[in-house]
Structure 1
């Protein structure tokens, strides 16, 4: 039996990802499985490494069906660790070292072990018996053990998503769902000759596609962290690693497309997802690279990464490209508020079903019952909250939400979770969080605050307050004060009115923001303050990205609505305009215009040939 025949036979049964990977290790043991450009593992070596780490996990007391927290950066070892947890019979909980301690405590409370790099584990207040630091080589681990038997409907991994009650929701995804998504994908081309870029955070469900889809099909995972440093660096890493397939959040794709990134000259296939795809950017990329396979993917974590997909062509770009039809054993029905199916062309709420639904929210039976229901004719369904319409051929178009949930740079965000945390600050009487779009490509998570009597909140203080409780993607980019919240005729918060309010371009909160008078259209343009030549050069780069003039040396990048994805582009522009290379971390730490200008000046002084 050939390798393809073996894979087809296994994927048609209840094969797990462990089964699929060990099959490739048998039929193509010397094929490349994982690489980061420095370390290379064949399928035989990947399986052996995972089996030895699994033995170490068992020695530390891990039992079948227990959780393992993974605190591992992008690397070959991250892939080995995920597979090893399954090999030992457990399920993994991806962790981000940048998350606040309280969030990590919630995510690891039920974990039997916390596994990761020694330097990342060092600062965690975890009892020694619950910690396993990864070794530099496999030699320190016990001999390999046989793989555990994994039932299709047992948990494979647990991902936390934003929760409307102020607590993150633990989504339990079963082995059946992962294998069904990954094996023989019908919506994207992944062959044994491909290399799939692994660059998304492990806590982001796109990483499941990046790791398990290639390994289910005999392809290679190529791990990169270049996107954390620069957009050009990401393109260079794609070329260095020989990646042929990549998944980008829609926001990242838009930035790469707007900058005419050379990354699209290298890749054969690009999958995008997380937000509505811009027809303009899709058309731009496809017009210049007509050979590119561009796939618009859609799906919540509860449906295992992608539930629908559409191969985008230039003819789809007269309007927003559709989100496609169900893929990989998923089902989709469009229902009205009474649970009845709507006719093609009519808008309704999208409900998803099929073999790839999550088991529910671990330990949250009431919430699970609210979102997962047994439909009399369509079977078990998950209520997405997304408004769609179906074309006559079943292709779905996205139209918005039925609730307040938003998507920003690929992350699903429940505003109520942020509002709950803000209301816990003593200087805040009320809070509302919405998404504003100062430009089509820039989505800003904006917090509107009603200050407590006699107080004026400070942006830095509020950011620190949230940073101690929430992940970075839940901290707003822009802030405004209001004397009171706008209400609808029914007495509810008018989020639409907030979404279209003019942005405060000062990047700081002050009592003047409470003045409800509309700005005068005859107001003079802001006078440029005493900016140094270098500050002026930096201000011009900021202005292009932020879409308004920067005249104050104390202007705060984050306070003005900046974010890390925008910062990546600014760092590249500073390199192109001024010839200096700044790291993303240094840029964000400097924060103010004067601070960034000081970094630029320091870089210029250290590279005198740049200023000759």
Structure 2
């Protein structure tokens, strides 16, 4: 017996359907090629030392590097780990991976060997690109047998044909923490990544969803990407003023730090037009600091910001048995690298056939169709601090473990 009236169920599902926008390109690479054709000599990327490259040079160098990858056996569907501080050369390698139809898998060399080794094993690859020669030994320690230093990659004649990615080809494997203190790789397709000339600050760690969003936001719109290689040691506000940044994508805690440390400098950044927030809930004090602040905080594990106006979004609720009653659509990732979590978290909608992700959040829809999230699943509360994801459950458990029985229970908020 259906506990929910069919008419009410249908109405709730209709309320959960957002705007659907037609996108005329099938992949990020195809869109980048369109931008290169339209504005080949515009600046695509610049770092804080004013090293710059144009769109045409970006694509030419990426194709040359892709021929080197292809010559060594990298092809469609091959994961390639990318390690090192963000440089223009390393960005070339990301585009090069997509030119051969490969999967970009960022790895943080600041983490432990054990953690990164798990990422490498989950991606099931032997290929790696590093941005500095001294990281080649680090890559070998991760059992990545074929390591390229991006500065030494050369054109290989006969291997320069660009593989046209399909919408459902996996483009990225992003690592996210899980409650058992391990990392899991979320696989994103080119369709997941489809999103007048912005100047975008790229300051976030390349392992994070923010970095991917910053890079693609700039390069697929014909804008300029400004690389802030070490955002901890440099003055972000000074870079924003000097490079005339127009768009920032950051966490609320980062915006709070910027406003507390460099408010007077930020007031001189007259080019700054859009501030986008992601990764954490916004406090009222942060909102008051801006004339307008757009909240991109999304609920699904696309990990790329995807909740602007609920474009390409579907929302459903599920009962305790997991039956969909009335989040789905092109924004949903295709699953995790080598993980049993797929069966539990990713589903196919029985009527539409679209991919659904189970957030395991608790909530309800009211009479006007608004979705209220009441609580999150235990041990899945995550805070983003300076671009890093921190599991609040891990912090509370560590407090109890290290308290020598003087603390029985801890709550971190």
Shift of 1:48: 0.3
1:147 aligned onto 2:162 = yes
Shift of 1:123: 3.8
CA 1:27/1:391 → structure 2, altered by over 3 Å: closer, same or farther?
farther
The answer to whether the Cα contact below 8 Å between 2:237 and 2:258 also exists between their aligned partners in 1 is no
Q: How does 1:19-98 map to 2 (within 5 A)?
A: 19-37=30-48, 38-98=50-110
Q: Which residue of 2 aligns with 1:112?
A: 126
Q: Which residue of 2 aligns with 1:359?
A: 334
2:293 alignment partner, SS class: strand
1:482 aligned onto 2:405 = yes
Q: How does 1:431-580 map to 2 (within 5 A)?
A: 433-434=395-396, 447-449=399-401, 479-482=402-405, 485=408, 497-499=409-411
The answer to whether the Cα contact below 8 Å between 1:171 and 1:361 also exists between their aligned partners in 2 is yes
Shift of 1:210: 0.3
CA 1:394/1:141 → structure 2, altered by over 3 Å: closer, same or farther?
farther
1:498 alignment partner, SS class: coil
Shift of 1:335: 4.3
The answer to whether the Cα contact below 8 Å between 2:384 and 2:390 also exists between their aligned partners in 1 is no
- Mapped to 1, the partners of 2:65 and 2:237 lie a distance apart of 33
The answer to whether the Cα contact below 8 Å between 1:178 and 1:304 also exists between their aligned partners in 2 is no
The answer to whether the Cα contact below 8 Å between 1:34 and 1:223 also exists between their aligned partners in 2 is yes
5+ residue gaps, structure 1: 1-9, 183-190, 310-324, 343-350, 419-432, 435-444, 450-478, 486-496, 502-612
Aligned residues: 381
- Mapped to 2, the partners of 1:205 and 1:80 lie a distance apart of 19
Q: 1:236 aligns with which of 212, 235, 238?
A: 238
- Mapped to 1, the partners of 2:363 and 2:295 lie a distance apart of 15
- Mapped to 1, the partners of 2:144 and 2:349 lie a distance apart of 47
CA 1:55/1:254 → structure 2, altered by over 3 Å: closer, same or farther?
same
Structure with the greater alpha carbon radius of gyration: 1
CA 1:396/1:297 → structure 2, altered by over 3 Å: closer, same or farther?
farther
- Provide TM-score, normalisation by structure 2: 0.83
Q: How does 1:113-512 map to 2 (within 5 A)?
A: 113-116=127-130, 117-126=132-141, 130-135=146-151, 140-142=154-156, 145-179=160-194, 182=195, 191-192=196-197, 194-230=198-234, 233-259=235-261, 261=263, 262-263=265-266, 265-266=268-269, 267-283=272-288, 285-286=289-290, 290=291, 293-299=292-298, 302-309=301-308, 325-327=309-311, 329-337=312-320, 352-364=327-339, 366-377=340-351, 379-388=354-363, 396=371, 398-410=373-385, 411-413=388-390, 418=394, 433-434=395-396, 447-449=399-401, 479-482=402-405, 485=408, 497-499=409-411
Shift of 1:263: 2.9
CA 1:269/1:498 → structure 2, altered by over 3 Å: closer, same or farther?
same
Shift of 1:84: 0.7
- Mapped to 2, the partners of 1:121 and 1:370 lie a distance apart of 37
Instruction: Say what the alpha-carbon RMSD is for the aligned residues.
Output: 2.9
- Mapped to 2, the partners of 1:161 and 1:301 lie a distance apart of 12
- Provide TM-score, normalisation by structure 1: 0.57
